[in-house]
Amino acid sequence: MIEFKNVDFGYSDRLILCDISFKVAKNESVAIMGPSGSGKSTILRLLLGLECPHRGTITIDGMNICQMKEREKREIRKTMGMVFQNGALFDSLTVGENVGYYLIEHSDLEYAEISARVHEMIGFVGLNADEIIDKLPDELSGGMQRRVAIARALLSTNPKVMMYDEPTTGLDPESTKNILQLMQKLKKEREVSSLMVTHQIADAVSIADKFIVISGGEIAYDGKLDGLIRSKDERVVTFLTPFIESLAEVNREQFTSD
Ligand SMILES: Nc1ncnc2c1ncn2[C@@H]1O[C@H](COP(=O)(O)OP(=O)(O)OP(=O)(O)O)[C@@H](O)[C@H]1O
Ligand SMILES: [Mg+2]
């Protein structure tokens, strides 16, 4: 479905990603992890064709996104849903206008039809449409905003690929659980391939079939969970240690409180 092959990319003359190769199969979920600034969001930007690699190729369904004309890029983006790092809703538009944005701007559908689809989609992401449709994003909690952003991504496109950039960062445990359940539901019901950038290893474990660790612009790990935990690669160990320590800490606390 998606393939990065020997991709180099940088801004001006600073190389950010170096010889990146990986594949994502149909209906597979991949977690991309790594230190801040390692180039995770950049990978999603490349996949959307917002940037092109200096070397190597990125293909979606066998088509090289950087060789496409703008019109073809727009077509393929219709099959890709992106949930940005900060949710990125339009502040001055209501929830309903945000979710329906793409249909309002780019389709010939009647208002009533758009309104019905917006209602349905807000329900799909587990929110009460009647309650929130006329509210501004500021009036919602962070977790609700994130779900509205997912609803917008789903209604803009009929996605074969979903990209989530840190979908649960800054959310409380309950909202985190809701977002993860929604991502799982999408995977099951819509058969989408997904790429999730995350710092939360627990989230990655609950969603992903495969784990990629980026470090220093290179792929330090690409594979299943058992291999990740057993990896002796220094970059992987450095990245995982704080999580393992905090997991151990939680276990110790459980023991001492028993
Ligand atoms: N538009 C840009 N122009 C120049 N440099 C950029 C631009 N966008 C990102 N960078 C740089 O590219 C590097 C990778 O950025 P990226 O946003 O992909 O990191 P990230 O892994 O997503 O980090 P974080 O976990 O903090 O979100 C960073 O050093 C960043 O400063
Ligand atoms: Mg990022």
How do residues 180-189 score in pLDDT, each as one tens digit?
888 888 888 8
pLDDT at 87: 66
Euclidean distance between CA atoms 147 and 180, whole angstroms: 10
C-alpha angle with apex 41: 35 to 43, nearest 5 degrees? Answer: 105
Nearest Cα to Cα of residue 115 among 90, 133, 128: 133
Distance of CA 164 to the CA centre of its chain: 1
pTM > 0.75: yes or no: yes
Closest ligand 1 atom, residue 38 Cα = 21
How many whole angstroms from 31 Cα to the centroid of ligand 1? Answer: 18
Q: Going by CA atoms, what residue is nearest to atom 1 of ligand 1?
A: 11
How many whole angstroms from 130 Cα to the centroid of ligand 1? Answer: 38
Q: Going by CA atoms, what residue is nearest to atom 24 of ligand 1?
A: 36
pLDDT at 254 over 60: no
For the sheet with 2-11, list strands across it: 14-24, 2-11, 55-60, 63-64
pLDDT at 251 over 70: no
How many whole angstroms from 199 Cα to the centroid of ligand 1? Answer: 15
pLDDT at 147: 86
The total of other beta-carbon atoms located within 10 Å of residue 166's CB is: 20
Read off the pLDDT band of 82 (50, 70, 90): confident
Nearest Cα to Cα of residue 60 among 29, 23, 7, 31: 23
Q: Going by CA atoms, what residue is nearest to atom 17 of ligand 1?
A: 41
Q: Percent of the chain, pLDDT > 90?
A: 47
Q: Going by CA atoms, what residue is nearest to atom 6 of ligand 1?
A: 11
256 lines ligand 1 (CB under 6 A): no
pLDDT at 256 over 80: no
Q: Is the dihedral of CA 243, 215, 17, 25 positive or negative?
A: negative
Query: What does the pLDDT average to over 73-97?
Result: 84
pLDDT at 201: 86
pLDDT at 188: 86
Euclidean distance between CA atoms 185 and 124, whole angstroms: 10
220-241 confidence digits (pLDDT tens): 999 999 999 889 999 999 888 8
Query: What does the pLDDT average to over 90-108?
Result: 89
142-178 confidence digits (pLDDT tens): 788 888 988 888 887 778 899 999 888 877 788 788 8
Least confident of 3-12, 66-75, 179-188: 179-188
How many whole angstroms from 39 Cα to the centroid of ligand 1? Answer: 6
Rg (CA), the chain: 19
Q: Which ligand is nearest to the CA of 32?
A: 1
Query: What does the pLDDT average to over 40-51?
Result: 92
How many whole angstroms from 50 Cα to the centroid of ligand 1? Answer: 14
CB 66 within 8 A of CB 83: no
What are the extents of the domains in the chain?
2-79+159-257, 90-157
13 lines ligand 1 (CB under 6 A): no
- C-alpha distances (whole Å) from 61 to each of 71, 92, 104, 134, 208 are 17, 36, 29, 38, 21
39 lines ligand 1 (CB under 6 A): yes
How many whole angstroms from 120 Cα to the centroid of ligand 1? Answer: 36
The topology under which CATH files domain 2-79+159-257 is Rossmann fold (3.40.50)
Euclidean distance between CA atoms 231 and 208, whole angstroms: 17
40 lines ligand 1 (CB under 6 A): yes
pLDDT at 220: 95
Q: Percent of the chain, pLDDT > 70?
A: 93
3-state secondary structure of 6: strand
Q: Going by CA atoms, what residue is nearest to atom 4 of ligand 1?
A: 11
Q: What value does the mean pLDDT of the chain take?
A: 88
pLDDT at 34 over 80: yes
